[in-house]
Amino acid sequence: MKNVLSSRRFILIVTVAFLVTVSTLLFFHFPSLTQTSYNNSNGQTPRAAIIDQLYDDYPNLAFENTAKKDLQYAGYTVDLYTTKNITVSFYKNLPLMGYKIIIIRSHASLPLNNDPKTSSADIFTGEKYQPDKYTLEQILGLVDKSSYLYLDYGVTHFRNGSYTLNNLASSSGTYFSVGSKFIDQQMQGKFPGSIILIGGCASLHNPTLADSLVKRGASTIIGWNKLVLADHNDAAMLGVLDSLLVDKSDLQDAINSTMKTLGPDPLFSSVLKYYPASAGSIRVGIN
């Protein structure tokens, strides 16, 4: 993946989500504990998953290797899922797989035609969109049609927190994506108090997606409040993992220290957040 911070012109991925019959747009570049300690109490080796939907188009082997190393250092066995493995059925059954930590590196989108304060973010699968597939689910709004565009831009204008990007280049890829309605009605089983990191744009712009995952059994969701550049996302995800797994920081300190070290996203000023607010004292441990 090109280092966007070292070049004068770089590529922004613009995510365009079409929710069933209504086109929607999001810019994107390129993933309950009731106690304060996250322990493996059943004596089994805890398991973690790295879900890399960007693997085919925007691989970052350094990210995968570093995340895997930190997880293994903390005693986790790690499974890696790449683009071709990440289907609608995969997400449907994800809670049943027993992962204690889940890291999602993916395109994500929000429907801008709906209220952005309440609309769910969507997470891309790696499954190419087919109009005659999941037809009932599409009609019911359980799965969505999403695509992304490449944007080669020069000048970016900021006015009162808004921005404009110029020079639309070309589109690439249309995929199925899933959001809170899918989680509520299609996912099977419960997460075992999982910590879920969603490395996708605006995954915590509002709590809708995160709340559905918590109701499905996750302990906390970590994500971005706005758009984020790919290299900044990867660095931040690794920073949080290192703080949680190596330094044994609690969740709030891990987020705060990572943001203090890296700062907000250099283009969009986005920051990492976590949900719910009560999860700040969670610590990762296997004792």
According to the model, what pLDDT value does residue 34 have?
Answer: 29
Joined tokens for residue 186: 């299609």
What does the pLDDT profile of the chain (287 residues) look like in tens digits?
A: 333 333 333 333 333 333 333 333 333 333 333 233 334 445 689 999 999 999 998 899 999 999 999 999 999 999 999 999 999 999 999 999 999 999 999 988 776 566 666 678 899 999 999 999 999 999 999 999 877 644 443 333 333 344 444 444 334 568 899 999 999 999 999 999 999 999 998 899 999 999 999 999 999 999 999 888 889 999 999 999 999 999 999 999 999 999 999 999 998 899 999 999 999 999 996 43
Total count of residues recorded for the chain? 287
> How far lies 230's CA from each of 41, 68, 85, in Å?
36, 19, 21
Taking the CA atoms of 242, 243, 244 and 245 in sequence, report the sign of the dihedral they define. Answer: positive
According to the model, what pLDDT value does residue 172 have?
Answer: 54
The CATH number of the domain holding residue 54 is: 3.40.50.1460
According to the model, what pLDDT value does residue 209 have?
Answer: 96
According to the model, what pLDDT value does residue 207 have?
Answer: 94
Joined tokens for residue 14: 């613009």
Range of the domain at 88: 4-284
Ramachandran class of 75: left when φ > 0, alpha when ψ lies in -120 to 50, beta otherwise: left
Per the CB < 8 A criterion, the answer to whether 181 and 120 are in contact is yes
Per the CB < 8 A criterion, the answer to whether 230 and 53 are in contact is no
Total number of domains constituting the chain: 1
According to the model, what pLDDT value does residue 113 have?
Answer: 60
According to the model, what pLDDT value does residue 37 have?
Answer: 35
Strand partners, 158: 163
Q: Does a cis peptide bond (omega within 30 degrees of 0) precede residue 276? A: yes
According to the model, what pLDDT value does residue 114 have?
Answer: 65
Per the CB < 8 A criterion, the answer to whether 135 and 190 are in contact is no
Joined tokens for residue 54: 């960007």
Per the CB < 8 A criterion, the answer to whether 125 and 88 are in contact is yes
* CB-based burial label for 238 (10 Å; 0-12, 13-18, 19+): buried
Query: What is the value of pTM for the model shown?
Result: 0.80
Per the CB < 8 A criterion, the answer to whether 208 and 111 are in contact is no
Closest listed residue to residue 143, CA positions, set 172, 110, 182, 117: 182
Whole-angstrom distance, CA of residue 51 vs CA of residue 67: 11
